[in-house]
Structure formats: structure tokens, C-alpha cells
Chains A and B, each alone.
Chain A
Amino acid sequence: MSTMTDTHAHDHDHHDHKPAGITRWLYTTNHKDIGSMYLWFSFIMFLVGGAMAMVIRAELYQPGLQIVDPNFFNQMTTVHGLVMVFGAVMPAFVGLANWMVPMMIGAPDMALPRMNNWSFWILPFAFAILISSLFMEGGGPNFGWTFYAPLSTTYSNDTTALFVFSVHIMGISSIMGAINVIVTIFNLRAPGMTFMKMPLFVWTWLITAFLLIAVMPVLAGTVTMVLTDKYFGTSFFDAAGGGDPVMFQHIFWFFGHPEVYIMILPAFGIVSAIIPTFARKPLFGYSSMVYATASIALLSFIVWAHHMFTTGMPLASELFFMYATMLISVPTGVKVFNWVATMWKGAMTFETPMLFAIAFVVLFTIGGLSGLMLAITPVDFQYHDTYFVVAHFHYVLVSGAIFSIMAGCYYWLPKWTGHMYDEKLGKTHFWCSLISVNVLFFPMHFVGLAGMPRRIPDYSLQFADFNQIISIGGFAFGLSQLIFLAVVIKCVKGGEKAPAKPWEGAEGLEWEVPSPAPYHTFSTPPEVK
């Protein structure tokens, strides 16, 4: 991006009109307040979903059923997945978008601030409904986060309606968030901020928002069909009434595959902001990064059935979905090569955001390579529904998406709070997370190849040693995240005063406003040259 000049000093902060106390947060239409609420909410959900993962890992610590019964175990795997996908990763990215997109494009706020307020405030209710169902008679959803019919229809427990309702609310929230991002980016860019000058985080979020609008209604349709099949006598997924249970999987994964890119494209944007900053060198191949992101998004619509190779598809479909899936590694590879080329011949320093960003590139690539292995249909017959798959998607989601969110938080914390975070504590958090996340997920590759299916509460004896190691890694990773909480709280409360641009190599409009960013920024749009 070109250099940007800011003609005005934005010193409107002493004119802030915000109500005090709880009403400030309830009624707020300010993108920074809403962004903070999204981020705190997603962190709470991260801990809640993490606690469920701890229950899973405790039960799997040794063979035999020790702690929970299989029915509750299934509820834990299901709700862990739902909470992490819809409660932790997605809202965290929306929170980052709320904070950063207006500041990056020189807009005073999101384009639709009241809708912004609403799209956040319905989320806590959605998760209250979902999580409360765990305490009701019959327990919470126990059919996996993918809720395959007829396990989720004819054979599910009585609280399925609550699950459906909560997913609807999450979907509405996501769609409203996506509309807001698109309208903001299309209409509120500062003069001179052309599309091809936008930071990549803005670009990746714009594409993500289109994916959200395309597929969240599909998810809504799926859960509605589950609802009517279970309670109103329809037979969408019941062969006895002319339906087809495999059709459920087609519809679900038509949502589900773009959904996984929804959870990774903004991560690409964050890493593309951080690596150039700490390499002190502009991003290599900016326009190819934009095109690669768009290609990944388009391809995501024609690969869904690679989740379903064992459902009995005809050979021609299996070949089509195998080839299409393999193709995705081309634009994804381009991104990784561009990041490495950005580092090449730079002058790197390794503050916490950079450490997380580098770990992201390495570990996401490992997840991408195991994804390529999974794309090969005949071999997928052996990998499918084993721990190899669990290892794959946790590499891209935890050490991918979540590491990028951590990186983004460390990167922008000085801008949000006005204080530098504790670098030593941040690095401790990084190294603890990096080691434990690999102790947690790397052995899962071996366990899966050796034949351990996923979603089982108990296993045969040869898997015992590895599961013990995995569980220890899991507990360590869970505890490491409390360090992050400590860093954030410490940084919010005080610390070294942060300058407007705390990172030597940083570029972009967000660094032209003071730290902490005043309540209102860019009330007068800056001029971008």
C-alpha cells in the first residue's frame, strides 16, 4: 500500500458522549465497544468450549469409562465443536473486523451501527440456550456438531428444538455481521482508498462476508429440515417417507465447506498484516494474495462432497470432488510462498505477534498438507472418521485460526488499550502454547493412522500410551491460555504507554490515530494517496 497522509489531528476524544455503566454496553452502537464485546464473548466461549475439551481428554486419558457416560461424552464432543466454531472462532473474527475494518479504511464506524449492536447481543442468548440444554432432561445435543440425520432427527433427544433454535440465532447474527462488513467496505472507504489499496485483512473479510451470506441460509435450511423431520412428520432425510439421509450430508457440507474457509480467510488477512510489519518489508505479491483468496472462496463451493467419500458416491463424483479439492492447494500454496517471500531478505524481529504469525504459517501448512492427503479419495477411505482427520482440522483451526487471532490480539492490543502488553508474559504464552498444541495434536496423526476412530469414549488398548500423551498436551494447552487472559487483563489495566505506531515497520491508517484509539476516529475521512 502506498503511503498515507492524515491531514487532521483527530482529537475528538474529549467530546465522547457515552452513557456510563451497563447501559453503555447494552445500547452502544460504537464499533470499538462492539468489537471489544465480541472479543470478550469469544474468549469466554473459548474457555467454555475448552473446558468441554478437557472433559473429553480426561475421559480418554486411559482406556475404560471412568468419568462420564458415553451419552454425556457425545454431548461434550458435540457442544465443544459448536461452541468453538460458532462461539469462539467466528465471533473473534467479527470482533477483530469491528475494531479494525473501519480504522483500516478510514471510516468513522460500521455502516449499520444499530444492526451491529443487535448482531452481537443476540449471540449470548443463542449460547445460553445451547448450553442450558446440557442441564435439561435428556441432555444437550449428542449427535456431533455435524448433526447427521437420522441420528439428529428420529433418534435424537428431546432438546433438539433448542439446538435448532440456537443455531438459527447464531446464523442470523453472522448474516447481519456479514452484511455490515460488506456495506461498510463498499461505502465508507476514505477518499483514495481504492479496492486494490485496501489492507489484506479488509479484503479477506470482504470475501468471507460474501461466503457467510451465501452459506448461512443453507445452514438455516438444514436445521429447519431437521426440526420438521423430528417434530412435524416430514421426511426430508427419512428413506421410509421418500427422503434420503445422504441428502442431509450434501446440504450440510455445502454450508460446511465454505464455513471452514470463513474460519481461515480472515486469519490469512491478519498474518498478511503482521509478517510485513515485523519483516520491515512490504507484503510480497499483494494482488496475487487477493486473487488467491478469491479463488479459494470460489473453489470452496465445489468441494463439499470430499467430506462424504464413504457415503457411496458414484466413481465420477468421487473423481470430480477429489480433483477439485486438490486444486485448492494451488492458491493456498501461493499464499504460503508469498509469506515466505515477504520474510526473505527482510529485517525481522520476533515480538509475540510475529511469533504467533510464524507458528501459524508453519502449523497451518502442516494442516494443509494433511488436507491434501485427505483429498486423495482411495486413501481417504482409510483416514476418514479417524483421529487423522481430528489432527488435520485442529491443526488448521487451533494452530491456524486461533493462533492468528492471538497474533492479531497481541498486534493490536497497544492500539486498543493504549498500553504495551507484557512482552515477557506474551512470549511465555507463545512458547507454552506452541509446545503444548503440538503435544496435543501431532500424536493424533499416528493414532488415526493406527486406526482409532473419532468420537469414541473408549478405545482398544494399543492406543492407550498415545492418548495419555495427547491428554497431557491438552491440559497444558488449556492452562496456557490462562496466561493469555493474564496478559490481556494486565495490558488493559496499565503498562508502558503505547505510541500511535508501536511497531517500527507497521503501515496502515490504524496506526495514524493515537493509542488508545479515541472513541470516535476518522469523523473526517483521511486522504489516502
Chain B
Amino acid sequence: MKLTRSTGWAIPALLATGNVMATEMPLNMTQGVTDISQRTYDLHMTIFYICCVIAVVVFGMMFISILLHRKSRGVTPATFHESTTIEVIWTAIPFLILIGMAIPATAVLTEVEDNSNADVTVLVTGSQWKWHYKYHDYDLEYYSVLATPRAQYENYNGMFNGNSEIPQEKGENYLLEVDRPLVIPAGKKVKFLMTSDDVIHSWWVPEFAIKQDANPGFINEAWTKVDKPGIYRGKCTELCGKDHGFMPVVVIVKEQAEFDAWMNEQVAIAAKAKAEEQKLLSMQMDMSELMALGEKTYLASCAACHQPNGEGLQGVFPGLKGSPVALGDMRKHIDTVVNGVSGTAMQAYGKQLGLKELAAVITYERNAWGNNTGDAVQAKDVNAVMKGQ
């Protein structure tokens, strides 16, 4: 049913987006920008060429046979059907080829797994559906979320999810762009510690030849050393639920001096934001300000599950429109948003959003889509719940 109703829309949409096909796709694995990625590529090509030779020999024999040994040429079939010598030969030769493959593979693998002596360590935490980066050697941590607007990828023309926005033209880095990329210094051995807050994710940057699963409750290690500054893009590669296709990885590699400057700036901004939070406690925001910021925050952080129209997905993610949480006790609502609900997909947003955003988004949820409670939640209300007052 879903298919037939919408194919009528898909065809004109196809014509309209015909010009996005301009980007060229490479036909082979990337050589990447690290020593490991280059060696991985070389190994891939070696194995590939060996496979090609095997294929040419086997298929060659077969096609010669198909051409020559056909009944229509009037041949009489031979009767041979056994030869221990031949069996031994074609068991032994592949075995020797395999040993030839295993030696370089073992060498590369041993180097990939050498996680010792890192200069910089970053804790990478996956959650549905964003990445969180925490620098061990600096006082800095932040979330990294898809930056492609929904209007670029939701092209249902208002048929699903109540989204009636006109589809936007897809940008150059469609689905490969985030709000805050990870930044690492060039020429340094950077170690990544991978974990997850909920399901299994997998952090992949093809140009570094790193793909490592982020398992909840466990920590995995990976490392890279990139000499060439630049922007490198990757994706989550382990199915992690609904928006698995929408959690890209972006890494910026900067020269050490530039990295240091960036880091100092970011640490200062983070410290300043923390100080601002204290001021917020005595501040009173008005309703329209709360609702405007709330809507923005809601669409960025909540709409993936609860949907832009607040109706959720039946049987998967509960709706907020008319829900007992959004219409009931305000403290309970704040607690749910701040601390999450254990044993469900509802995350703890206390550490993901600032007090102002939390206050705004809870206000929005209590007043949007006909949830007209009239409650204006302030930063100090959120702070009170967080502090357990």
C-alpha cells in the first residue's frame, strides 16, 4: 500500500532531482591518508589481483571446455573420472597461495592493533543517533549531530510524519555533514576509545581505515596518525535503529599550532557557557522566547523519535501530543527529559543540552500541538530537578 500510494510522487521527484547525480563515485577502495590505510589498500589490491588470476585460470578452462567439448561438435565424451595426483596438486597449490596471502595480512593486522604510545586520546561515544567526543587531555566534550536539514532528505511531500515542508535541493555533503566535527592534530598518534550509551554503533572513517564497533558497557580501542590536514567524512556502519543512516562522522585534521589555538578557544567557550548557566538561574524567559528556542531544540534532538508533529511512532516511540507526561506533573516531565527512562530508548538529555534549551524544549512540549498547559518552564526549575531539590 505504501508503495503504490507514493510512486506517483516519486516519479516527478526523480525528474526534479536529476541534476544531483553530478558527483563522481570512485570505483575502488580509498587509499586514504594514513600509512595504515595505504597498506590496507595495497593488501586489498594484492588479494584482488590474485583472485583475478585464479578466476581467469578457472573460468578460462571452463570456457575452453564449453567451446570445444560440446556435443554439437560431434565429440565423444572421455571416461576419466579420478586422479589422486591431480586432487593433491589442486589442494596443495591453493594452500600455498593462501600462505602467501596470510603473511602480509598478518603484518598489517599486527600494526593496526598496536594501540600503544598515543599522543592524544579521544573517547568516542555513540548514541541513537549522534556521536559524542570527549578529549582526555583537555577539558572539552561535545555532541556531533547530523547537520543536513530534514527538508533535504524527507521527500515524502507531506505524506508521512505530517511533514509538509517543500523538499530542499540536496547539498554537496548531503548526509555527510555534522554541526560540530571532531578535531584532531596532524602528525600525532591519536587513540580513540569507543563505547556506546545504548545500542551497538560503529565508527568508520574510510580514509583512516578505522572501523571499530562502539559497544554499550565496553571500551574498544583504535588509533590513527594523519599527516595531511583536511576534512574527512565517514558513517555509522552498524545498524543502530531507525536513523542509522543519519549519523555521519566528520573529522577535521589541523596542524598542531592551529589545533592548539582551536582547542584553547573551545575550552574558553565551554567555560564561559558554564558560567552563563549560573546567571540563567535568576533569569526569567518569556513564553514566546521559550517556545521559539524550544521548537528549534525539539526538532534537533527529539523529533527523530517523537516526530515533528509530536505523535511519535505507534508501538515504537510514544507520542507527546496529549500524553500524560507532557500534560501531567511538570517535575516528572523535567525528570524524564533530564534523566531519561532506563530500559527504553529515552536518553538522558541532562548532559546533552544546556539548562536554557532544556527549559525551552520542555515548555515547547507542554504547549505545542494543542498541549495547552500554559506552563513556562524556567532554567531554575530544571536545575532544581537536576540537583534533586
Where the two chains meet, the residues of A that have a C-beta atom closer than 8 Å to any C-beta of B are: 54-55, 58, 61-72, 74, 136-139, 142-144, 148, 150-151, 154-155, 157-159, 238-240, 244-246, 279-288, 310-312, 315, 318-319, 322-323, 326-327, 329-330, 333-334, 336-337, 340-350, 358, 361-362, 365-366, 369-370, 372-373, 376-379, 381-382, 384-386, 446-447, 449-451, 453-466, 505
Contact = CB atoms under 8 A, between A and B. Distances in A.
Interface of B: 2-3, 6-7, 9-10, 13-14, 17, 20-30, 39-40, 43-44, 47-48, 51, 54-55, 58-59, 61-62, 65-66, 69-72, 75-83, 86-87, 90-91, 94-95, 98, 101-102, 105-106, 108-110, 112-113, 128, 152-156, 160-161, 167, 170, 172-176, 194, 198-200, 202, 204, 206, 209-213, 215-218, 220-221, 234-246, 313-316, 343-345
24 contacts: A64-B167, A70-B243, A74-B242, A137-B314, A143-B241, A148-B239, A150-B199, A154-B343, A280-B71, A311-B220, A318-B109, A318-B113, A327-B98, A343-B62, A344-B78, A345-B65, A365-B59, A366-B55, A369-B51, A381-B209, A386-B237, A449-B29, A459-B245, A462-B24
Contact of B65 (A246, A326, A346, A382): A346
Contact of B76 (A311, A347, A447): A347
Closest 9 CB pairs of A and B: A239-B217, A138-B315, A456-B245, A312-B220, A137-B315, A345-B78, A64-B155, A282-B81, A385-B237
B174 A63 contact: yes
Contacts of A142: 241-242
B173 A373 contact: no
B6 to A, nearest CB: 5
Contact of A346 (B69, B161, B344): B69
A288 B88 CA distance: 10
A334 B209 contact: no
A517 B313 CA distance: 54
A454 B211 CA distance: 14
Contacts of B175: 63, 458-460
Given A63-B170, A245-B216, A143 B81 contact: no
A74 B343 CA distance: 21
A123 B101 CA distance: 44
B237 A61 contact: no
B193 to A, nearest CB: 11
Contacts of B6: 66-67
Contact of A329 (B17, B98, B238): B98
A461 B70 contact: no
A139 B80 CA distance: 58
B237 A343 contact: no
A459 B236 CA distance: 12
A154 B196 CA distance: 14
Contact of A67 (B7, B27, B29, B105): B7
A386 B237 CA distance: 7
A68 B2 contact: yes
A66 B204 contact: no
B109 A378 contact: yes
A350 B14 CA distance: 42
A80 to B, nearest CB: 14
Given A376-B47, A377-B105, A379-B44, A65 B81 contact: no
A357 to B, nearest CB: 12
A271 to B, nearest CB: 13
A63 B20 contact: yes
A334 B210 contact: no
A330 B23 contact: no
Given A71-B242, A279-B77, A312-B212, A450 B27 contact: yes
Q: Which interface residue of A142, A310, A358, A457 has the most chain B CB atoms within 10 A? A: A310
Contacts of A63: 17, 20, 153, 170, 174-175
Given A58-B3, A65-B153, A285-B87, A378 B215 contact: no
Given A55-B3, A246-B218, 18 more contacts: A64-B154, A65-B153, A68-B2, A70-B243, A137-B314, A148-B239, A245-B215, A280-B77, A310-B213, A315-B110, A326-B102, A365-B58, A373-B47, A451-B206, A460-B175, A461-B174, A462-B24, A465-B25
Contacts, number: 341
B329 to A, nearest CB: 26
Nearest to B235: A453
A322 B69 contact: no
A346 to B, nearest CB: 5
Contacts of A346: 65, 69, 77-78
A138 B316 contact: yes
A449 B31 CA distance: 11
A286 B215 CA distance: 47
A464 B170 CA distance: 12
B40 A462 contact: no
A140 to B, nearest CB: 10
Contacts of A240: 217
A465 B55 CA distance: 28
A460 B29 contact: no
A311 B215 contact: yes
Contacts of A370: 51
B161 A69 contact: yes
Contacts of B315: 136-139, 157-159
Nearest to B154: A65
B106 A319 contact: yes
Contact of A463 (B25, B112, B153): B25
A390 B244 CA distance: 17
Contacts of B199: 148, 150-151, 155
Contacts of B112: 378, 381
B236 A453 contact: yes
Contacts of B211: 310, 381-382, 384-385
Contacts of B153: 63-65, 458
A213 B234 CA distance: 42
Contact of B239 (A285, A329, A455): A455
A373 B44 contact: yes
Contact of B216 (A239, A322, A366): A239
Contacts of A55: 2-3
A68 B51 CA distance: 39
B155 A65 contact: yes
Nearest to A371: B51
Nearest to B157: A66
B3 A67 contact: yes
Contacts of A72: 2
B314 A281 contact: no
B302 to A, nearest CB: 16
A285 B48 CA distance: 29
A498 to B, nearest CB: 20
A377 B34 CA distance: 18
Contacts of A450: 25-30
Nearest to B9: A66
B27 A455 contact: no
B51 A64 contact: no
Contacts of A61: 10, 14
